[in-house]
Structure 1
Amino acid sequence: MWYPPKVTTPPTEPVSVAEAKRQCNVLHDDDDALFAALISAARDHVERYCGTPLAQQTVEVKCDSFCDMARLPIAPVSDVDIEYVATDGTEQTVPDAAYELRADGLDASVVPAYGQNWPATRPRSRIVVTAIVGYETLPASIRHAMLLWIAEAYLNRENAETPEWTAFDALLTNYRR
């Protein structure tokens, strides 16, 4: 069983204020703080909509056993470090050569390397996976969807009815996890 991830190194925003202003055709600096807030809100919305982190960040996530590694709860993943409590009660780190990260887009898993086995853990202890997650380079369709969301939020600051299916949905549909 996986437990909720904890962000240990927060992401930098994948869209700049200058890009957001350009999308909205804004030439003044009066709303820069608003744009920064909208960028953060857009990233949060897209991350929750897609169920995946956008910008690279470091997270710590815990699980109950090594069999949980067959499917990581968060992706895309570019690197992992694994710590556990050995049967004698000492904290140990699994050597990098003992496992293989299989980061296949939105599906990620960690498996023992050829000829290796997972170590024995202390009963009822948790395994801690520290992972670098998110896109190194944000896909163009996600960036564009964020810019559409920001422009819509900037231009229509009150609640308004939206159509059931939008360009925002269409751009992000392939990135949902």
Structure 2
Amino acid sequence: MSEIVTIEPPQDRAVTLEEARQQLRLDGRDEDLLLVAKLDAAQAELEQQTGLKLCEQTLELQLQDWLDEITVPIRPCTVAEIRYTALGGSTVALPEADYVVRRRHGVTRIRPASGKSWPELGKDGLIRITLSAGLDENDPDLAIARAAILVKTASLFENREGAACLAFDTLVGQLKCRWI
């Protein structure tokens, strides 16, 4: 069983409030709270549908057992550290030389290095893998994601009763295809 815990949340949104205000051609600020809610909803929906983390953040993947190969359910990410509860009950950092991190098609996998095996866990042991996640500011996928968020936010804002947003669905489909 695994769990993702946020250690350091994103400091920004993928799309700023000002960018959304410009997209909608809003001069007044009286609906900013509503617009922020729509921005957050659009970004959350995009991240949920694509499995991507758009903004830089630090997360922790927590596991109860070692797997032959650990597949990280966060994209894109880098492994910053692996810690585990050792037999004596202390928390130990696993040396980088003891494991291999491979990233293929955006999926990060971790396995023991050649000739190594995972260390034995203590009773009720826990494995904590610290991850740096989020797209780089210059990543072309971030540009697609930002466009999708702006389109979805505008649709949510203008159609407050709810309506389908084909442009958003199309852009999300493009992102999904790029990360297969």
Q: Any idea what SS the aligned residue of 2:67 has? A: helix
1:16 correspondence with 2:19:
no
Task: Give runs of aligned pairs for residues 16-165 of structure 1, distance below 5 A.
Answer: 16-67=16-67, 69-137=69-137, 139-160=142-163, 162=164
Alpha-carbon distance in structure 1 between the residues aligned to 2:82 and 2:4? 14
Q: Could you say if the C-alpha distance between residues 105 and 33 of structure 1 is closer, same or farther in structure 2, counting changes exceeding 3 Å?
A: farther
1:103-152 C-alpha deviation (Å, 9 max, x unpaired): 33531111233444322222442211121122123521111110000111
1:6 correspondence with 2:9:
no
Work out the number of aligned pairs and report it. 173
Alpha-carbon distance in structure 2 between the residues aligned to 1:45 and 1:133? 17
**8 Å contact kept, 1:98–1:113:** yes
Alpha-carbon distance in structure 1 between the residues aligned to 2:126 and 2:17? 41
Letter of the 2:158 counterpart: L
**8 Å contact kept, 2:68–2:111:** no
TM-score, structure 1 length as denominator?
A: 0.85
Shift of 1:13: 0.8
Identity within the alignment, %: 30
Letter of the 2:53 counterpart: P
Alpha-carbon distance in structure 1 between the residues aligned to 2:162 and 2:15? 24
Alpha-carbon distance in structure 2 between the residues aligned to 1:150 and 1:174? 18
Q: Any idea what SS the aligned residue of 1:61 has? A: strand
Query: Which moves more between the two structures, 30-39 or 87-96?
Result: 30-39
Shift of 1:20: 0.7
